[in-house]
Amino acid sequence: MAPPAGSSIHRSGSRPQLDLSKAEIQGNFEERDPTILLPNQSDDISHLALDIGGMDSLNWGSGSPSRDNAVIKATGGGAYKFTDLFRERLGVSLDKEDEMDCLVAGANFLLKAIRHEAFTHMEGQKEFVQIDPNDLFPYLLVNIGSGVSMIKVDGDGKFERVSGTNVGGGTYWGLGRLLTKCKSFDELLELSQRGDNRTIDMLVGDIYGGMDYSKIGLSASTIASSFGKTISENKELKDYRPEDISLSLLRMISYNIGQISYLNALRFGLKRIFFGGFFIRGHAYTMDTISFAVQFWSKGEAQAMFLRHEGFLGALGAFMSYEKHGLDDLMVHQLVERFPMGAPYSGGKIHGPPLADLNAKISWMEKFVRKGNEITAPVPMAKPGTTGLGGFEVPSSKGGILRSDASALNVGVLHLVPNLEVFPLLADPKMYEPNTVDLSDHGELEYWFTVLLEHLPDLVDKAVASEGGTDDAKRRGDAFARAFSAHLARLMEEPAAYGKLGLANLLELREECLREFQFVDAYRSIKQRENEASLAVLPDLLMELDNMSEETRLLTLIEGVLAANIFDWGSRACVDLYHKGTIIEIYRMSRNKMQRPWRVDDFDAFKERMLGSGGKKPRPHKRALLFVDNSGADIVLGMLPLARELLRRGTEVVLVANSLPALNDITAMELPDIVAEAAKHCNILRGAAEAGGLIVDAMTNSLDGSKESSPSVPLMVVENGCGSPCIDLRQVSSELAAAAKDADLIILEGMGRALHTNFNARFKGDALKLAMVKNQRLAEKLIKGKIYDCVCRYEPASTS
């Protein structure tokens, strides 16, 4: 696992430390990847762990053995079986770890650390299950390898093998080879996808003349006897299709495993049953069959659950046996899974090794396009220099209805970000779901994929221009477009490939893909131009506001935020507007159209909380968190004047902005300069910025030449911990989490943070959600309105 490059994070003492003292480059400084000597480095930074099955066959290269006397952790039967071969062929010693210990440790880690790890699989539909890490134990872990082990897990390091069966994956493969002459496990699975077990299995309907046996709850299609139909038929083995034999065999073994597992769960009163192991391999029909068996025998009271990374349980557990892995105290909010493009995948095959070098990656992708091959799915891998949990396998090809889930590709790179925390003002973190748009609906998924693809050419143009329009930038831009299109194609085929999918995940994936191809800030010059244009008219706006009554000013401020939120380069409709006028002209046009009532209009309730009623003045909020959105008019003419009003009332203000660029969103790095420039025209902003440390060595004289002391309330800026147009409040920066502890007002602004995500979120403090809806479909689905409708949603602090 690796922290993001360039981030400054605190590491606990249990984790390996990178000692850079007296580091020096060896050899030629001009080399592309020169050797860097770390003379004072004592800890091993990278660890390797293997899970080697006893049934595996190993293909060895012709290279010479290592002379480093390397020692790596290994588990599984193959760790014992192939010990001598590893030492003789590779010069590597295997430090063996107990298989059961590793399986349980790996499962516990995944279930506690990966948010969308567990899922159910019924009738081809994958549905993710949220597991509360504090309510995980006890559970039954069913590991299906050559045989089957059933392990009752009561806690970390606390488990017992309570049962098992010798009828498992080895049985399926062994009998399958004898009966079908298949050469591999995957080939046998592929046969099952084209099979029809009714030609071999005896069904209840075969016994009762096509009728159900409804008295005891058996339908006509229920298998009464696996392979039972072959008894009464005058046929030889050669007369049966291998496909039908494979499917019948798969069903027989899967049903029995599912039944025995449920009975053991019932025996020990366990609510959760997790299945994993070589036998499953992400195969959709296998999971369906096991799920059906558990549902059937439990009469619907129990569900089979599977793990997205189930093939890595043993290897993860072996990795965690290193003394300095640093994983013991990790929390789910500290881990971010990303899916970088690793190697071209086309025609059901991976072509070439994982590609770490950017130029090599681009060249491979260009080669495939020239050949006329469509890159249909990314193959993730760890970046060089990381210890991310990345890798890939060639998936089984799909065929017919019973297709493989191809989940061997569902492996990302797990990044450790220790300075991420859960937003402390969420009313119920366990129930919080950031995504508002449900992409489980295929029509909804297809629509948003189309929107993203239509926006792609314009985004590529902006990205290339941001890098000076060089030939290198154009190559990277083309490669980014192909890579992101490949991600979308993969997700259209299997929406759950990367975990639970929401619109926020798609938008974040796009930004990650841009960064992968080294486009740091595609809208840099546009943001700068719009900021300058907006700052030029800010003094006039502030003067206009100061001449208004308190009530009129508050309404005008909210109107200004909504009007300014029209500037969003992520919206196709807004991009078209840019061709019809200047930024100020568009802002004024938007302001002039602000007529109440808005589609969602809670302004009166917000006004009463701010100004009171019946002559009673309410206490001001202690601290407000303003989650800002776009650069230009949005921040300068919308959110800054609103922040100024709150400061005027004695409320501390924290501007919360992106840690990394995303579209034309303002970043926390850019905000201090904008505030400093705005403060030149406003005593309130200047004093607050000085109190908040945003202005160092500020001017001491006020604008009218008189001395004015700084107000007691500060204006501060913090980063939110993400680089996306949306925000998942389960993972925010520790800086934001600390600032939130004294806050009693949260203002979320913009479509990404207030509509696409968090529209339904409830908070411990008062919440105001402000946005102009710049997408017709979102307007119809979310607020039953139309494009350019406005949302002003006020929710008092949740008492639940």
Q: Give the model's pLDDT for residue 130.
A: 87
Q: Give the model's pLDDT for residue 312.
A: 86
Give per-residue burial for 543-571: e unless 16+ CB within 10 Å, then b: eebeeeeeeebbbbbbbbbbbbbbbbbbb
Whole-angstrom Cα Rg for the chain: 30
Q: Give the model's pLDDT for residue 683.
A: 94
pLDDT band at 334; cut points 50, 70, 90? confident
In a domain, 759, yes or no: yes
Choice among 19-23, 274-278, 516-520, 603-607 with the minimum mean pLDDT: 19-23
> Which of 323, 338, 358 is the C-terminal boundary of a domain?
323
Q: In degrees rounded to 5, what are phi and psi of residue 164?
A: 175, 180
Question: Looking at the structure, do residues 478 and 596 belong to the same domain, yes or no?
Answer: no
Q: How far is the C-alpha of 361 from the C-alpha of 517, rounded, in Å? A: 9
Q: Give the model's pLDDT for residue 396.
A: 29
pLDDT band at 48; cut points 50, 70, 90? confident
Q: Give the model's pLDDT for residue 498.
A: 86
Helix axes 603-611, 550-564, angle to 10 degrees: 140
Q: In degrees rounded to 5, what are phi and psi of residue 140?
A: -105, 125
Question: Looking at the structure, do residues 234 and 289 belong to the same domain, yes or no?
Answer: yes
CB contact at 8 A, 313 and 307: yes
Question: Looking at the structure, do residues 576 and 616 belong to the same domain, yes or no?
Answer: yes
Tokens of 652: 């501390």
Tokens of 439: 């992409």
Q: Is the pLDDT of residue 406 over 60?
A: no
Average pLDDT over every residue of 400-422: 60
Q: What is the dihedral of CA 277, 282, 284, 285, to 10 degrees?
A: -30
Q: Give the model's pLDDT for residue 324.
A: 56
CB contact at 8 A, 68 and 46: no
Q: In degrees rounded to 5, what are phi and psi of residue 63?
A: -70, 165
Please report which helix (H) or strand (E) contains residue 760, including its range: none
- Residue pLDDT, tens place only, 171-192: 999 999 999 999 988 899 989 9
Average pLDDT over every residue of 573-586: 58
DSSP 618: P
In a domain, 750, yes or no: yes
CA distances from 761 to 56, 333, 561, 623, 665 (A): 49, 18, 21, 19, 22
Question: Looking at the structure, do residues 482 and 544 belong to the same domain, yes or no?
Answer: no
- The most confident of 403-417, 456-470, 558-572, by mean pLDDT: 456-470
pLDDT band at 343; cut points 50, 70, 90? low
Nearest by Cα to 513 from 491, 489, 481: 481
Q: Give the model's pLDDT for residue 123.
A: 87
pLDDT band at 583; cut points 50, 70, 90? low
Mean pLDDT value across the chain: 83
Question: Looking at the structure, do residues 535 and 469 belong to the same domain, yes or no?
Answer: no
- Residue pLDDT, tens place only, 25-43: 555 444 444 555 556 655 5
Q: Does residue 81 or residue 215 have the better pLDDT?
A: 81
Q: Strands 623-627 and 652-657, how do they pair?
A: parallel
pTM: 0.81
Average pLDDT over every residue of 558-587: 67
pLDDT band at 60; cut points 50, 70, 90? low
Question: Looking at the structure, do residues 482 and 626 belong to the same domain, yes or no?
Answer: no
pLDDT band at 558; cut points 50, 70, 90? very high
Choice among 9-23, 215-229, 418-432, 760-774 with the minimum mean pLDDT: 9-23
Average pLDDT over every residue of 381-400: 30
Average pLDDT over every residue of 209-225: 83
Choice among 102-111, 331-340, 655-664 with the minimum mean pLDDT: 331-340
CB contact at 8 A, 748 and 758: yes
Q: Does residue 11 or residue 282 have the better pLDDT?
A: 282
Q: Give the model's pLDDT for residue 403.
A: 34
In a domain, 175, yes or no: yes
Q: Does residue 18 or residue 330 have the better pLDDT?
A: 330
Tokens of 653: 């203000």
- Residue pLDDT, tens place only, 143-152: 998 899 999 9
Q: Is the pLDDT of residue 633 over 50?
A: yes
Residues whose CB is less than 8 angstroms from the CB of residue 57 and which lie 6 or more positions away in sequence, other chains included: none
| DSSP string for 627-639 | E--BSTHIIIIII
- Residue pLDDT, tens place only, 742-753: 999 999 999 999
Query: SS3 for 225?
Result: strand
Q: Give the model's pLDDT for residue 344.
A: 54
pLDDT band at 64; cut points 50, 70, 90? low
In a domain, 429, yes or no: no
In a domain, 336, yes or no: no
Q: Does residue 66 or residue 79 have the better pLDDT?
A: 79
Question: Looking at the structure, do residues 736 and 783 belong to the same domain, yes or no?
Answer: yes
Question: Looking at the structure, do residues 246 and 315 belong to the same domain, yes or no?
Answer: yes
Q: Give the model's pLDDT for residue 337.
A: 81
Question: Residues 430, 436, 438, CA angle at the centre, nearest 5°?
Answer: 100
Q: How far is the C-alpha of 630 from the C-alpha of 574, rounded, in Å? A: 12
Residues whose CB is less than 8 angstroms from the CB of residue 686 and which lie 6 or more positions away in sequence, other chains included: 679, 680, 695, 698, 699, 702
Please report which helix (H) or strand (E) contains residue 275, including its range: strand 273-276
Q: How far is the C-alpha of 259 from the C-alpha of 298, rounded, in Å? A: 9
CATH of the domain at 730: 3.40.50.10880
Please report which helix (H) or strand (E) contains residue 419, including its range: none
- Residue pLDDT, tens place only, 757-795: 999 999 999 999 999 998 899 999 999 999 889 999 999
Question: Looking at the structure, do residues 472 and 547 belong to the same domain, yes or no?
Answer: no
Q: Give the model's pLDDT for residue 800.
A: 59
% of the chain with per-residue pLDDT over 70: 79
Q: Is the pLDDT of residue 604 over 80?
A: yes
In a domain, 385, yes or no: no
In a domain, 8, yes or no: no
Question: Looking at the structure, do residues 544 and 586 belong to the same domain, yes or no?
Answer: yes
CA distances from 642 to 234, 564, 568, 752 (A): 85, 12, 19, 19
> Which of 323, 346, 365 is the C-terminal boundary of a domain?
323
Average pLDDT over every residue of 49-59: 75
Half-sphere CA count of 211, side-chain side, radius 13 A: 6
Q: Is the dihedral of CA 645, 647, 650, 654 positive or negative?
A: positive
Q: How far is the C-alpha of 150 from the C-alpha of 327, rounded, in Å? A: 25
Question: Looking at the structure, do residues 570 and 459 belong to the same domain, yes or no?
Answer: no
Burial classification of residue 750, based on how many CB atoms lie within 10 Å of its CB (0-12 exposed, 13-18 middle, 19 or more buried)? buried
Q: Give the model's pLDDT for residue 268.
A: 97
**Owning domain of residue 306:** 100-323
Q: Give the model's pLDDT for residue 12.
A: 31
Please report which helix (H) or strand (E) contains residue 188, including its range: helix 185-192
pLDDT band at 465; cut points 50, 70, 90? very high
CA distances from 435 to 588, 638, 728 (A): 32, 25, 8
pLDDT band at 8; cut points 50, 70, 90? very low
Q: In degrees rounded to 5, what are phi and psi of residue 410?
A: -85, 40
Q: How far is the C-alpha of 485 from the C-alpha of 474, rounded, in Å? A: 17
Q: Does residue 535 or residue 312 have the better pLDDT?
A: 535
% of the chain with per-residue pLDDT over 90: 55
In a domain, 403, yes or no: no
- Residue pLDDT, tens place only, 227-280: 999 998 889 999 999 999 999 999 999 999 999 999 999 999 998 999 998 888
CB contact at 8 A, 633 and 569: no
Q: Give the model's pLDDT for residue 391.
A: 25
CB contact at 8 A, 794 and 603: yes
pLDDT band at 707; cut points 50, 70, 90? very low
Question: Looking at the structure, do residues 143 and 271 belong to the same domain, yes or no?
Answer: yes
CATH of the domain at 175: 3.30.420.40
> Which of 323, 339, 365 is the C-terminal boundary of a domain?
323
Half-sphere CA count of 589, side-chain side, radius 13 A: 12
- How many domains, the chain? 3
